[in-house]
């Protein structure tokens, strides 16, 4: 059979895009957006439950106010907003590094002459920065969780503990998956170098990373900032 | 001029011989073969679910029945519901999604063929995971809806509900992966000219369903995670003593559960919307309205969930709102019924088995739909809730609706799937026995329900006027089983030795009928150029050039994808390997109560296994370099 009836779109074959697609976009790009849409419902369920259970715990410790137990022991408000603000800042900045990493991969083949261009064009550097900032966020979370447990709040203590640890734990697990994903890309970068033909793979990792970041903004606002 | 001619004048037998044997099925990434796997597996589970229902009916045949213990009865009705919803009807729909969507939009496969295989293997293994306990009398026993706190450790301390909590999470992975895959496929792999408003209506309804899956399944996943944490780690999500809301589960479950109802029915609506036009020789009446009403049902489906909860006392405002949205959703549904009738009106009707099931859907679903609107009124619902009236209602929509639609689709598409017709004489027995049996089983439940007979109760006393209705229902189940037996025999015999079918045996209008039956591995030698909604009717001249069975038997051979230079995905065992690791990881959870070290070891082992499988998979190219 001849291909004479095919429209031009079918003959464009570059890299991964060698199959005809209706929108001219790669399938992976649409799939990641679909996945993110689904993830929104996942976090919406977690966040709604947290909000519905806010203030319903029959005993402390509580997030924003002190609590005295029947024996007279005082538990201070448990959320440490300055520390979490710092970890939030780190996570937000990691999104910035992610953008630079993607740009570096996309522009790998452009000539780089100045020092600044070489810095901005180093995909390894920016992937490292993103990974380390993500890891740092996880470190903050590990610190926060152990501190809370030491102060008497576990996932079994009360409704606040159950819903808080589950919500932030789910988010932390998403960050952890993202860090593994980015480290895998970094490993490929060391092995054979990431170039423009890999840009889509970096792009979908970046979309996931930004999404996880945006979810944290919502969690930080609703859980930590609003009393 | 670009034409719809997609099939070459060759038969399709050449590729088959190279693709047989167990290994070829374990490693297949071909959407058509995966569709067949879904079909067979789902029918097996349909039979298991049917036998469970039969045992329930045997227990209820006479007052104070002694066939089953109360405990076994609980396990059976729980597993009957769970099996039919998650293991029979959804995967039967998935069989058609897999087989048909790429063919209907003019694609060579789905967007992610290996992910598609992964969805199937997760479904199969998850289905086994959740079904096996019934043979050891430790099956889930808290209802298919698993209401917490009833399903928490405090009230269900045994391992039974653990299987359910974990099994549904496993099955959710399958459905979600499939949803991402099909949404991407439909958005991005339509052949040139296949505009959204030219898409076959089955693909349209499937498209809506995938969005419902993608948005509803995360909600039940979270509800299940809460329940799992409560059961395994002692959290407080459903612990009333800790201040938990006893309605949290119900809200989360039904936010998923009501869209799930449309996940079950819309594929059947889509299939019937293909069957009725073909056998009426008329285009579907009001195609755009059918599309819009499907989308509207999808949207409104997320806004009616609390009508399952009128009895809990949500207050007049919530009751009124959900009552109104429920009445509202009946409108697009009713529009579909009228459009099907208008499609048949004045048509050149051919009443073969497929058409009979299709027309029966229109009638039976209407009965179920009308009783559904009855419970949209809270005062009426308070009388009907938790009685057999509700059981009658949802079996009219699920059996009379979903299953009839799926049977119509099966008889209609069987020639495309297998290259052979199903037997009309056996089909006649299948249809009439199923139709009679279904009505005999479920119609009397309207009366036993209105007399106040409660659901999910394993015995009833004599002298309340319930004896006759229950006996009739039980006899009806026997008729249904006989009918199903005819259907299965028909399927088996037709697969082996049915009459050969040509590429377009029904004179159908959509492009899946332009390629050989069964289609070659790559579906289309060249991607078709779509010029209208019903290309094979609009381009009559092109259609007659397609190969027929006669040409096949003349010995001409379909060229393989390789000969045509079409890159096709390589078979891969990795989806199956990865799926096994996921199941092992979830199985480890079962031991958390008895042996924590063993549980952790199994979970870590499973996790390492599937992560290794996944990396291997992602680093293996889908196709050979070319």
Contact A166 B225 (CB under 8 A): yes
3-state SS string for B28-46: CCCHHHHHHHHHHHHHHHH
Note whether B232 contacts A: Cβ–Cβ < 8 A: no
pLDDT at B558 > cutoff 80 = no
Does B287 have pLDDT greater than 80?
A: yes
CATH classification at residue A172: 1.20.120.80
In the block, residue with structure tokens 């395994």:
B232
Give the residue numbers in A contacting B (CB under 8 Å), as ranges.
1-3, 5-7, 9-10, 18-23, 25, 27, 30-31, 34-35, 37-39, 41-42, 44-46, 49, 52-53, 56-58, 155-156, 158-159, 161-163, 166, 184
CB of B561 within 8 Å of any CB in chain A?
no
Domain ranges of chain B: 14-572, 575-626
What ipTM goes with this model?
A: 0.92
Instruction: Give me B611's structure tokens.
Output: 């992560």
Query: What is the pLDDT, as a whole number, of residue A18?
Result: 54
What is the C-alpha to C-alpha distance for residues B599 and B193, in angstroms, rounded to an integer? 54
Q: Which two tokens stand for residue B347?
A: 């048509």
Q: Which of A59, A162, A176 to mutate to probe the B interface, most B CBs <10 Å?
A: A162
Cis peptide before B606 (omega within 30 of 0): no
- Tell whether A15 is covered by a domain: no
In tens digits, what is the pLDDT along chain A, a chain of 227 residues?
A: 333 233 333 433 333 445 788 998 999 999 999 999 999 999 999 999 999 999 999 998 999 999 999 999 999 999 999 999 999 999 999 999 999 999 999 998 888 889 999 999 999 999 999 999 999 999 999 999 999 999 999 999 999 999 999 999 999 999 999 999 999 999 999 999 999 999 999 999 999 999 999 999 999 999 999 98
List phi, psi (to 5°) of B64. 50, 45
A60 lies in some domain? no
Between B467 and B626, the higher pLDDT residue: B467
A108 located within any domain: yes
pTM, full prediction:
0.93
Which residues does residue A68 pair with via DSSP β-bridges, in sequence order?
A: A74
* pLDDT grade for B554, boundaries at 50, 70 and 90: very low
Phi-psi region of A55 (alpha: psi -120 to 50; beta: other; left: phi over 0): left
Structure tokens at B66: 């002694």
Find the domain containing A176 and state its range: 25-52+78-225
Half-sphere CA count of B216, side-chain side, radius 13 A: 27
pLDDT score, position B9? 39
Residue tagged 């088959």 (tokens): B16
For residue A20, say if its preceding peptide bond is cis, omega within 30 degrees of 0. Answer: no
Interatomic CA distance for residues B162 and B139, integer angstroms = 9
CATH label, B14-572, candidates 1.20.210.10, 1.10.3720.10, 3.40.1080.10, 3.30.365.10: 1.20.210.10
Which pair of structure tokens corresponds to residue A141?
């979370």
- Cβ-Cβ contacts under 8 Å between A and B: the total is 132
The half-sphere exposure of B488 on its side-chain side, counting CA atoms within 13 A, is 14
DSSP string covering B370-411, please?
HHHHHTTSHHHHHHHTTBHHHHHHHHHHIIIIIIHHHHHHHH
Question: Coil, strand, or helix at residue B326?
Answer: helix
Q: Which residue has the tokens 């015999």?
A: B493
B 105-124 residues with CB < 8 A to A: 111-112
Confidence at B593, pLDDT banded by 50, 70, 90: confident
Residue of A nearest to B10 (CA): A1
């Amino acid at each position: 059979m001849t291909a004479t009836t095919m429209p031009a779109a079918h003959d464009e074959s570059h890299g991964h895009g060698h199959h005809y697609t209706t929108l001219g976009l790669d399938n992976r790009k649409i799939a990641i957006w679909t996945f993110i849409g689904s993830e929104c419902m996942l976090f919406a369920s977690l966040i709604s439950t947290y909000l519905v259970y806010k203030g319903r715990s029959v005993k402390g410790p509580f997030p924003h106010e002190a609590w005295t137990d029947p024996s007279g022991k005082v538990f201070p408000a448990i959320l440490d907003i300055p520390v979490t603000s710092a970890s939030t800042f780190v996570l937000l900045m990691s999104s910035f590094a992610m953008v630079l990493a993607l740009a570096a991969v996309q522009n790998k083949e452009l000539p780089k002459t100045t020092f600044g261009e070489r810095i901005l064009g180093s995909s390894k550097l920016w992937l490292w920065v993103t990974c380390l900032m993500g890891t740092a966020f996880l470190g903050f979370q590990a610190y926060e969780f152990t501190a809370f447990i030491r102060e008497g709040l576990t996932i079994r203590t009360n409704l606040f503990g159950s819903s808080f640890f589950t919500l932030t734990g789910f988010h932390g697990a998403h960050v952890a998956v993202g860090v593994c994903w980015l480290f895998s890309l970094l490993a490929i970068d060391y092995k054979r170098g990431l170039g423009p033909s890999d840009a889509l793979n970096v792009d979908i990792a970046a979309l996931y990373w930004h999404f996880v970041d945006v979810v944290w903004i919502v969690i930080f606002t609703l859980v930590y900032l609003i009393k | 001029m670009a034409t719809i001619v997609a099939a070459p004048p060759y038969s399709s037998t050449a590729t088959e011989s190279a693709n047989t044997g167990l290994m070829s099925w374990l490693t297949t990434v071909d959407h058509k073969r995966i569709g067949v796997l879904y079909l067979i597996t789902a029918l097996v589970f349909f039979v298991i679910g049917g036998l469970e229902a039969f045992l329930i009916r045997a227990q209820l045949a006479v007052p104070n029945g002694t066939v089953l213990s109360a405990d076994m009865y609980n396990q059976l009705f729980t597993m009957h519901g769970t099996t039919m919803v998650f293991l029979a009807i959804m995967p039967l729909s998935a069989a058609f999604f897999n087989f048909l969507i790429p063919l209907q939009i003019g694609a060579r496969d789905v967007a992610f063929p290996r992910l598609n295989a992964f969805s199937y293997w997760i479904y199969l293994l998850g289905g086994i995971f959740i079904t096996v306990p019934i043979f050891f009398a430790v099956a889930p026993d808290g209802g298919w809806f698993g209401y917490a706190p009833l399903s928490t450790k405090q009230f269900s301390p045994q391992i039974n509900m653990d299987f359910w909590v974990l099994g549904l999470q496993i099955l959710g992975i399958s459905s979600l992966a499939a949803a991402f895959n099909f949404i991407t496929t439909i958005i991005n792999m339509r052949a040139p000219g296949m505009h959204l408003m030219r898409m076959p209506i089955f693909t349209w309804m499937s498209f809506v369903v995938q969005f419902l899956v993608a948005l509803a399944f995360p909600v039940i996943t979270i509800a299940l995670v809460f329940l799992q944490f409560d059961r395994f780690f002692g959290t407080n999500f459903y612990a009333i003593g800790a201040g938990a809301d006893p309605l949290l589960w119900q809200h989360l479950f039904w936010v998923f559960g009501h869209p799930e109802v449309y996940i079950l029915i819309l594929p059947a609506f889509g299939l019937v919307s293909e069957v009725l036009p073909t056998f009426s020789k008329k285009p579907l009446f009001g195609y755009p309205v059918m599309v819009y009403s499907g989308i509207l049902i999808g949207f409104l489906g997320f806004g009616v969930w609390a009508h399952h909860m009128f009895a809990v006392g949500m207050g007049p405002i919530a009751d009124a709102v959900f009552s109104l949205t429920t009445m509202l959703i009946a409108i697009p549904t009713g529009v579909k019924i009228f459009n099907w009738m208008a499609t048949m009106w004045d048509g050149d009707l051919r009443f073969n088995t497929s058409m009979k099931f299709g027309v029966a859907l229109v009638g039976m679903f209407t009965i179920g739909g009308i009783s559904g609107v009855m419970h949209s009124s809270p005062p009426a619902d308070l009388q009907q809730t938790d009685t057999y009236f509700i059981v009658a209602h949802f079996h009219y929509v699920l059996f009379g609706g979903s299953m009839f639609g799926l049977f119509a689709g099966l008889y209609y598409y069987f020639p495309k799937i297998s290259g052979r017709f199903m037997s009309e004489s056996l089909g006649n027995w299948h249809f009439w026995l199923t139709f009679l049996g279904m009505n005999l089983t479920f119609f009397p439940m309207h009366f036993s329900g209105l007399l106040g007979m409660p659901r999910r109760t394993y015995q009833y006393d004599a002298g309340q006027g319930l004896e006759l209705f229950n006996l009739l229902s039980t006899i009806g189940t026997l008729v249904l089983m006989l009918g199903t037996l005819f259907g299965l025999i028909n399927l088996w015999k037709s697969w082996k030795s049915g009459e050969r079918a040509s590429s377009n045996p029904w004179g159908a209008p959509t492009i899946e009928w332009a390629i050989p039956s069964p289609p070659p591995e790559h579906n289309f030698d060249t991607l078709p150029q779509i010029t209208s909604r019903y290309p094979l009717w609009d381009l009559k001249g092109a259609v007659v050039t397609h190969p027929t069975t006669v040409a096949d038997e003349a010995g001409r051979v379909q060229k393989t994808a390789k000969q045509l230079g079409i890159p096709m995905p390589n078979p891969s065992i990795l989806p199956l390997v990865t799926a096994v690791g996921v199941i092992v990881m979830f199985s480890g959870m079962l031991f958390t109560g008895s042996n924590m070290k063993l549980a952790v070891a199994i979970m870590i082992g499973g996790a390492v296994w599937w992560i290794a499988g996944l990396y291997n998979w992602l680093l293996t190219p889908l196709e050979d370099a070319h």
